[in-house]
Amino acid sequence: MNNFTNYKPNNMKNIFLKINWVVYFFLTLLAFIGGLILYSVSQGSFYPLVSSHLFKYFISSMALFITCFISINFIYKTSYIIYFFSILLLISVLILGNDVFGSNRWLSIAGFTFQPSELSKLAIILAISRYYHDYYFISNNNILKVTFPIIILFIPFAFVINQPDLGTGLLILISGLTVIFLSGIGIWYIFFSIIFATSLAPLLWNLLYDYQKKRILTFLNPDQDPLGSGYHIAQSKIAIGSGGFFGKGYIKGSQSHLEFIPEMHTDFVFSIFSEEFGFLGSLILVLIYSYVLCYGIVSSYRANNTFTKLTIAGLTTNIFLYFIVNISMVIGLIPVVGVPLPLVSYGGSAMLVTMISFGIIMNLSNFKGQLN
């Protein structure tokens, strides 16, 4: 029992000290902003989007607190188990999943739908971090140091790509590779990997689905089909641009309320926010994200062992990727990929994973002991 936690379970005061309340405040603020936009999108209706969103935030907060409470050793030890569990979930999606718009991403459990690929992101980071923690003594240029994590990474990646969900797949890949990069592998591996990946690009292009190819082509040449695939991005840019400095005012965005923006409550939630609150609002939102991400980076820097360092950095990167990919997508910097804006977008899986990630970060950043 002594190994389970370094703190006594009855010492609740310590547990609450572990929580960074400033960060938690900002996370709550983001969820609240999400609620505001959903209220606007619903034409001033609290039900069902806003209520559901806030309820999901409440559940996710609970998850954050519970994660803070769990012993680091327990997390460390169950890393691989979580990883296998996530693979199991991905397999069950393949067999039992709900088919939505031709892709198979969701799993229904007791009336809740959940996206197992979101859990995979967490699991991969934990598993790779544990591997490097256990084998930090192996030379950086040892081939073993690369092979195993790559295998860990590619199994869920293959499943997610197969769903098909290119966006999440790439996010998983990048956050996993970030952890491998931070682990300190030899610079030559990185160099050759890049060359290898580039040479594989034409082959990968052929493996893409038609709609994915179309999205990428549309992104490269958006004027080619202004009423087709490029339409959403064009309308999103119009929404954001027309917001100006102060925005059009709350619930006054014409682009959103006249249904020019697709997926208003999920992927394109930032367009609505930006249209109604302008550059000022967007800047504040970006700064809030910057703050919580900086917290992650600093925590990672301060951590005293490989597992905590890598886990925190990996999770932070994961959240960063969510954020940056979503915003870049709606402002037309990258092609459309279905990635939500964490905490703001409507949708439970991403929110839950984000909050659990912050729970782990808060938990780990207070850890000063030794893992065994």
Partner 1 sequence: MLKPKKQHSIIFNRRLFLLSSLKLITFSVVINRLYNLQIRQSEKYKKLADNNRVNLSLIVPSRGLIFDRDKNLLADNEEQYQLIFKIYNIRNKLQAIEKVFNYVELQEIKKEELRKQIRENKKRVLVKQNMSWSEVAKVSSNITELEGVYIEMILVRKYISIATSHVLGYVGKPDINTNQKLFKVDDARVGKLAIEAAYDNGLQGKFGYKREEVNAHGRVVNSISKVNGIPGNDINLSISKKLQDFSFNRLGENAGSIVVLNINTGEILTLVSKPSFDSNDFIGEMHPDKWKEIINNNLNPLFNRATKGTYPPGSIFKLIVVLAAYSLKDFNSNKRYFCNGSFKFGNQIFHCWNDKGHGFVNCKQALAVSCDCYFYDLSLKVGIDNINETAKKFGLGEMYLNDIFNSSKGLIPSKVWKKEQFGKSWTKTDTIVTSIGQGFSLSSPLQLAVMISRIAADGKKVVPTIIKQDLNMKKDNDIKDLNKEGISLIKEGMYDAVNSSIGTAYFSRVYNPEKLMCGKTATSQVRRISMKEREDGIIKNEDLPRNQRDHALFAGYYPHKKPKYGFCIVVEHGGSGSKSAAPIAKDLCEILNLIDV
Establish how many alpha carbons lie within 13 A of residue 297's alpha carbon, considering only the half-sphere containing its beta carbon.
8
Q: What are the two backbone dihedrals, phi and then psi, of residue 107, each rounded to the nearest 5 degrees?
A: -130, 130
Minimum CB distance to partner 1, residue 9 (Å): 30
Candidate list 24, 106, 114, 260; residue touching partner 1; CB under 8 A? 260
d(CA 84, CA 67): 19
Q: Is 239 in the site for partner 1 (CB under 8 A)?
A: yes
Q: What mask, x for binding partner 1 by CB under 8 A, covers residues 149 to 188? A: -----------------------------x--xxxx----
Size of the site for partner 1 (CB under 8 A): 48
The alpha carbons of the chain give a radius of gyration, in whole angstroms, of 21
Q: Is 136 in the site for partner 1 (CB under 8 A)?
A: yes
Minimum CB distance to partner 1, residue 348 (Å): 26
Minimum CB distance to partner 1, residue 252 (Å): 11
Minimum CB distance to partner 1, residue 287 (Å): 10
Q: Cis omega before residue 340 (within 30°)?
A: no
Q: What mask, x for binding partner 1 by CB under 8 A, covers residues 262 to 301? A: ------------x---xx--xx--x---x--x---x--xx
Minimum CB distance to partner 1, residue 344 (Å): 15
d(CA 132, CA 310): 8
Minimum CB distance to partner 1, residue 215 (Å): 15
Q: Is 214 in the site for partner 1 (CB under 8 A)?
A: no
Q: Is 101 in the site for partner 1 (CB under 8 A)?
A: no
- Which residues make up the interface to partner 1 (CB under 8 A)? 136-137, 140, 178, 181-184, 227, 231, 235, 237-245, 254-255, 258-260, 274, 278-279, 282-283, 286, 290, 293, 297, 300-301, 306, 309-310, 313, 317, 320, 324, 327-328, 331-333
